[in-house]
Structure 1
């Protein structure tokens, strides 16, 4: 337990997310080990028997074969659900692997080696596609930004283990490596079911989540071709989207030419010996993913923070050019390994995370469209273009190492040009998003890194002439990215008519940049937050400013709630835990809200805050209650406050506010699993608390509770169906008896039956929402509850396709 906080910090995830992260990362290790061990074997046999010159045809065949298989996989996923589709795919892999071993045993002719490599490559693509779809069901967008890199690192560890396994087994023979694939796929299928039953399913917390889910529904209704045609329209609507598509296209083409070039040298270096080639390929991938892990864990965070995405996206093109030049000058095994290892390590370790951050410069509704273009047009299109181009080279020139190296150099230069174009448009897009207040400070910092003098001047311009939201944002960005320039602007910032800018000047400036005279002038500021910032700045002086303590005490004793809130804000910086605790019990909501935020800034290191914070979980003010629940997701009390904490979460689950219910559900799963048992009585409630309890229990990842809520729902829905049928009979009886007392009795009976059926429907929809929120269920739910007959019919039809059958 004591290692958990350190591990969470090392992995850059929250402690409440650590268990889920490690479970899925372990699953990824197993999957990566199984799939890449087989990849090393099938690739080695392919290169040994069919030869590197079969690569161009392989690129074309694979591109044409994968696309329809992915479409078929999509149909399967819609019919069975993501989890069952993944398990079925893994079981098929476990069955196919021994069959392919028998095929190898009968014949390893070039055509057989080629066909088996194509079959394996299709299987690999489908498994990885299903795996990431499965993972995305259990993490929302904001969690994914933190957790997906850790899961990708798990895959990389699996690939590294595959390298060791390949070397050990290949000393005997290459073909038995397929049994590792079979064993790993079977074990992964079992583990997928185990993980799915125990993983908490979060609800949406971001508009981009909703847009992604809506895109799933649109894709299902319109079909793949119409969606692709619609996505292509975005190419003409945004220069940045077009530049990103071209960058991805050039990168894919360059990568495949590099694969062909490296394969030629590998085969030549091992003198076409299968055992030596298998071991070489295994060790090359092992080294590549070791480099990738080192880059992603230690280099990428520094590069993104200090140099920014605008510079990070240039690393892969530049090193690719260096690799091709090295091979052209000296085409030996060492230079080919440099090209192979550095290019693959940089692409997965640095370029992929940079591209992920880069996507933040696009409007959120464009993201799903861009993904459709990349998956359905760019990736298969690049493979076909590369394959056809290399076939023409084979036909009319000669695909030697020197020729391919020269082609690679030309493509690498185009790669650099495309990256420079994206870099220029990306910086413009980030500033445009700043003007429209659509970028966070962290994203802005990661975009620019260390700003140029021109960019510093532009930020100064925003501080001086921007609107009420742009001015403080630009000031905060300047203070974080260019502290020297910010310190030079302190006198100007302190004279700003904007109180938030004056506060930031005192808060972000280095202690030596603020003089005692400036602090004395700030004390007379009419805004209490500026006064609090002056006290905090003075406390950081060496020696501390004498008036800081008395000034904060005056603010805390003020009758103005905003000044007391400012004192509580300052307490987080000065370490005044007593003021934070007292702030949580203040009569004014604004003070309690700021006290909870200060508690978060102090990393929950406020021992006496447990009781007051638990009380805030049931606060009459909904904003205070939500903020307290946000902290409950990351923190839980110990000792005597634990039962009260669980009771407060259960009470929050019965709230009329959906955000409160969502946070309470997440807090139970992350911090107080014992509270989930307390929600079982709510299943019998006739209020919205029953549906909220159903949703929380299904999301919880507790198999025992899932079984209990499933049994309850099956019975409840069965009774609801009976009530709905009886309601129609009651309505008919009421009409037959005219306007008498008996007719009124039947009318009241019908209302009661409809109410029970509606309650059962709400519980069923809560269960479906928990299971299928990521697949666009919210859109379907709106259709089911619509007053329009056509919308209800389409919603019900889609609802039946979601499953599972017991719902």
Structure 2
């Protein structure tokens, strides 16, 4: 197009931009949306939400504080500033030469710029594909960050010596290609030396301070040059040389601080082996000596890390150190010496000594090292056989680990079927090391997807994202993923949804019935189906959510009417029946809210919805209001609108609500939800069996966050006891093994003090007694006596522990209550005088008896 006219290029570019926007929107709706697992990404998304709430200037002021607290952050900001100024001066210099070379012809200038950028893209592609991986692997980031400053200096010098089109093209093409192809990847790795929470702050500084600041500095500088000197090409090239020298000095400063930061993170165990290797590249003799010092004198965590780094980065030095490593008191170092040293560096005598090592993993490493000898060591196979047939699960796990290196696939399959979780876990990892090339592993792998051990199940699901069986095991695989989606563990649900999207899209259809579940499975199914990116499934989820949220809003509104009906009926059974109806309606509304939040997490996870979710669920009015506003801005309207109504505590005013009418009560009696149906029947015909107990449990803070379905299962674990007035429930000094929930009556908590009983507290209905003693196995710190005829529900320790395992949210409520007690007692101690600090705090102590 440019051969005839330059103006139509604007329409070509506009058409391309519009097409890209449409394609991005189309693809974004159809691609799998992974959930957040990267801490750095989550922190960045959080920063975006904070910026939206507090404003850019406040966030920038907070980020500037990091300049004075970290020398590395300051050096990085200065390096970026110098790089931007140098790049802009270079671009201006190149522009002058381009204009002169084309004799002020706009058409020729356009063609030249287009060809220059095209050549720059080619150079960038070549560098990205072939040069950058080699540089980062062999030379490391510490040396890669020096490439751009050095070549920038070479380009400016070439232009100063011979200011022609060829030298300016070299400066333009090589600098742009290096900056995008090598320097940007190196800078991204460079940020790994900083704590994860600093990354978003650094990006704020770069985007809001460095970029505009560099533009202002460059503009003012070039203006001053034009005013007080002749702004010729040679003068600008000399200025560029000076800036390039400053650029090199800034890069050298960052290089030194970066290496220091990497070693500091090694000391604090905050760097991975791959990051360490990529940071240093080929180590210098001094760095090798430092790593050897870590191996000899480091702590239990840094010693094996330094040994592994030495084996990866300096194999010759590692081989020379092998005898010393094999004599180390640290078993992990001895294992690494056998595992990472070259086969010729380990003698048969050293292998025989390692075969007698008390640590099974060292023995397994010796067998693997011996099997790699030419010819193979004759004791390798017998050693592994003895390890596998050992009665020690750890030695069996070591044999399974070694099987991945020796190609013993049968042992890997047998390990998956082993009764010990440690062996099964290692077998799955060996399965991954063998790239899933393990015949007859499909059935045991599918079984591991449903393993009772949580770690085994998670590891199997991680592999399921990269592997899927074929043939007869395929349906079982899909069913196992669906069952995992209904798990109570959030990580299991996340991994299952990713495995479905990647390996078993047919399983997504099987999750549709889970949408009707009243447990965590419903929200998990919503997330998985939306993340899948399949338009047909998205439409079905949307229809379900629109109906569910609409019914949830109706239930929340009816809940206020049920509360009004309960108030009108006083304290009798009729009032309790309407109270139970309100609980059922709130339960349904909360269920709809959970599904809606799951959909928002799937749609807007990358935009920082986790922070918004914390805001809308907060008890602080300001945080909740800001969260609701951001939720509405996120959209879409069909989801965010009703969800904001359900989350807004002021959307339905219970004080002005009227009582339920007979027509409304009849409609609720025909509701599809089981609990609303039963509660509406109770409001008409009286309370049914067990409903009073469920009401009492719901009013207990420990169980208030549980659904009626969960409370029903808990209630079945409890037993009812009746105590006459004055009867002792337990005495001070008794070993606690039961938790008591008061249904009716009153319990007096008391202690003996100087020959007389002192009442600490009186606990009425919906109170909990003795929950802390159930956990800590300590004797009761006080006694409990029925002040009146009292009915309690009792939960024994073994059943409580099973309950906590099944419903972790109960344990969180325990922790929240304990934290609240400690906070109240601290406030009382701070407000009390010295003479009052020994005074009993009855109410706070009551629950810990």
TM range (shorter): 0.7 to 0.9
More helix by share: 1
* Residues 1:634 and 2:469 are matched in the alignment: no
The CA deviation at 1:796 is 2.5
After superposition, give the CA deviation of every residue in 1:21-51 in whole Å (9 maximum; x if it has no partner): xxxxxxxxxxxxxxxxxxxxxxxxxxxxxxx
User: Within 2, Cα distance between the matches of 1:190 and 1:784?
Assistant: 32
Q: Is the 8 A contact 2:53 2:626 kept in 1?
A: no
The CA deviation at 1:776 is 2.2
User: Within 2, Cα distance between the matches of 1:796 and 1:226?
Assistant: 21
Matched with 2:163 is 331
Matched with 2:554 is 722
Pick the aligned partner of 1:607 from 436, 439, 446: 439
* Residues 1:777 and 2:593 are matched in the alignment: no
* Residues 1:284 and 2:108 are matched in the alignment: no
Of the structure 1 ranges 194-203 and 207-216, higher mean CA displacement relative to structure 2 is found in 207-216
* Residues 1:252 and 2:84 are matched in the alignment: yes
* Residues 1:589 and 2:421 are matched in the alignment: yes
Structure 1 residues 292-371: aligned runs within 5 Å:
292-371=124-203
After superposition, the Cα gap between the structure-2 partners of 1:790 and 1:280, relative to the gap in structure 1 and judged at 3 Å, is: closer
Matched with 1:65 is none
Structure 1 residues 372-383: aligned runs within 5 Å:
372-383=204-215
Matched with 2:450 is 618
The CA deviation at 1:741 is 2.1
User: Within 2, Cα distance between the matches of 1:677 and 1:799?
Assistant: 29
Pick the aligned partner of 2:284 from 452, 458, 461: 452
User: Within 1, Cα distance between the matches of 2:614 and 2:106?
Assistant: 59
User: Within 2, Cα distance between the matches of 1:764 and 1:341?
Assistant: 50
User: Within 2, Cα distance between the matches of 1:358 and 1:792?
Assistant: 37
Matched with 1:174 is 6
After superposition, give the CA deviation of every residue in 1:423-468 in whole Å (9 maximum; x if it has no partner): 0000000000000000000000000000000000000010011111
TM-score when normalising by structure 2 = 0.75
Pick the aligned partner of 2:491 from 659, 678, 703: 659
User: Within 2, Cα distance between the matches of 1:391 and 1:795?
Assistant: 47
* Residues 1:710 and 2:547 are matched in the alignment: no
The CA deviation at 1:242 is 0.4
* Residues 1:266 and 2:98 are matched in the alignment: yes
Structure 1 residues 535-614: aligned runs within 5 Å:
535-614=367-446
Matched with 1:522 is 354
After superposition, give the CA deviation of every residue in 1:334-391 in whole Å (9 maximum; x if it has no partner): 1111111111111001000000000000000000000000000001110110011001
Matched with 1:802 is 634
* Residues 1:392 and 2:224 are matched in the alignment: yes
TM-score when normalising by structure 1 = 0.78
The CA deviation at 1:640 is 1.4
The CA deviation at 1:264 is 1.1
Matched with 1:187 is 19
User: Within 2, Cα distance between the matches of 1:219 and 1:185?
Assistant: 28
Matched with 2:657 is none
User: Within 1, Cα distance between the matches of 2:450 and 2:579?
Assistant: 39
Matched with 1:744 is 576
User: Within 1, Cα distance between the matches of 2:173 and 2:501?
Assistant: 41
* Residues 1:437 and 2:269 are matched in the alignment: yes
The CA deviation at 1:656 is 0.3
Pick the aligned partner of 1:417 from 219, 243, 249: 249
User: Within 2, Cα distance between the matches of 1:309 and 1:320?
Assistant: 18
After superposition, give the CA deviation of every residue in 1:490-526 in whole Å (9 maximum; x if it has no partner): 1110111110000000000000110000000001100
After superposition, give the CA deviation of every residue in 1:500-556 in whole Å (9 maximum; x if it has no partner): 000000000000110000000001100000000000000010100000011111111
After superposition, give the CA deviation of every residue in 1:672-717 in whole Å (9 maximum; x if it has no partner): 1111111111001111100110111111111111111011000000
What root-mean-square deviation, in Å, do the aligned CA atoms of Structure 1 and Structure 2 show? 1.0
Matched with 2:677 is none
User: Within 2, Cα distance between the matches of 1:187 and 1:798?
Assistant: 29
Matched with 2:42 is 210
Matched with 1:695 is 527
The CA deviation at 1:607 is 2.7
The CA deviation at 1:308 is 0.2
User: Within 2, Cα distance between the matches of 1:783 and 1:338?
Assistant: 53
The CA deviation at 1:751 is 1.1
User: Within 2, Cα distance between the matches of 1:567 and 1:347?
Assistant: 48
User: Within 1, Cα distance between the matches of 2:410 and 2:338?
Assistant: 24
* Residues 1:501 and 2:333 are matched in the alignment: yes
**Structure 2 counterpart SS, 1:608:** coil
* Residues 1:764 and 2:596 are matched in the alignment: yes
User: Within 2, Cα distance between the matches of 1:518 and 1:295?
Assistant: 45
User: Within 1, Cα distance between the matches of 2:621 and 2:228?
Assistant: 63
User: Within 2, Cα distance between the matches of 1:194 and 1:185?
Assistant: 14
User: Within 1, Cα distance between the matches of 2:477 and 2:297?
Assistant: 48
* Residues 1:680 and 2:542 are matched in the alignment: no
Larger Rg: 2
The CA deviation at 1:202 is 0.9
User: Within 1, Cα distance between the matches of 2:330 and 2:619?
Assistant: 49
User: Within 2, Cα distance between the matches of 1:755 and 1:430?
Assistant: 51
Structure 1 residues 32-181: aligned runs within 5 Å:
169-181=1-13
User: Within 1, Cα distance between the matches of 2:94 and 2:241?
Assistant: 14
User: Within 2, Cα distance between the matches of 1:630 and 1:511?
Assistant: 32
After superposition, give the CA deviation of every residue in 1:299-319 in whole Å (9 maximum; x if it has no partner): 100000000000000000000
User: Within 2, Cα distance between the matches of 1:608 and 1:315?
Assistant: 51
* Residues 1:464 and 2:296 are matched in the alignment: yes
Matched with 2:833 is none
- The total of aligned residue pairs comes to 639
The CA deviation at 1:594 is 0.3
The CA deviation at 1:727 is 0.7
The CA deviation at 1:792 is 3.1
User: Within 2, Cα distance between the matches of 1:788 and 1:189?
Assistant: 39
User: Within 2, Cα distance between the matches of 1:190 and 1:787?
Assistant: 40
* Residues 1:670 and 2:502 are matched in the alignment: yes
After superposition, give the CA deviation of every residue in 1:85-135 in whole Å (9 maximum; x if it has no partner): xxxxxxxxxxxxxxxxxxxxxxxxxxxxxxxxxxxxxxxxxxxxxxxxxxx
* Residues 1:483 and 2:315 are matched in the alignment: yes
User: Within 2, Cα distance between the matches of 1:304 and 1:444?
Assistant: 11
User: Within 1, Cα distance between the matches of 2:89 and 2:614?
Assistant: 49
Of the structure 1 ranges 571-580 and 770-779, higher mean CA displacement relative to structure 2 is found in 770-779
Q: Is the 8 A contact 2:615 2:627 kept in 1?
A: yes
Matched with 1:403 is 235
Q: Is the 8 A contact 2:556 2:585 kept in 1?
A: yes
**Structure 2 counterpart SS, 1:542:** coil
Higher relative contact order (CA 8 A, sep 6+): 1
**Structure 2 counterpart SS, 1:634:** coil
The CA deviation at 1:800 is 2.3
User: Within 1, Cα distance between the matches of 2:606 and 2:27?
Assistant: 17
After superposition, the Cα gap between the structure-2 partners of 1:788 and 1:262, relative to the gap in structure 1 and judged at 3 Å, is: closer
User: Within 2, Cα distance between the matches of 1:189 and 1:319?
Assistant: 36
User: Within 2, Cα distance between the matches of 1:187 and 1:320?
Assistant: 36
After superposition, the Cα gap between the structure-2 partners of 1:628 and 1:280, relative to the gap in structure 1 and judged at 3 Å, is: same
User: Within 1, Cα distance between the matches of 2:602 and 2:295?
Assistant: 45
**Structure 2 counterpart SS, 1:438:** coil
The CA deviation at 1:178 is 1.2
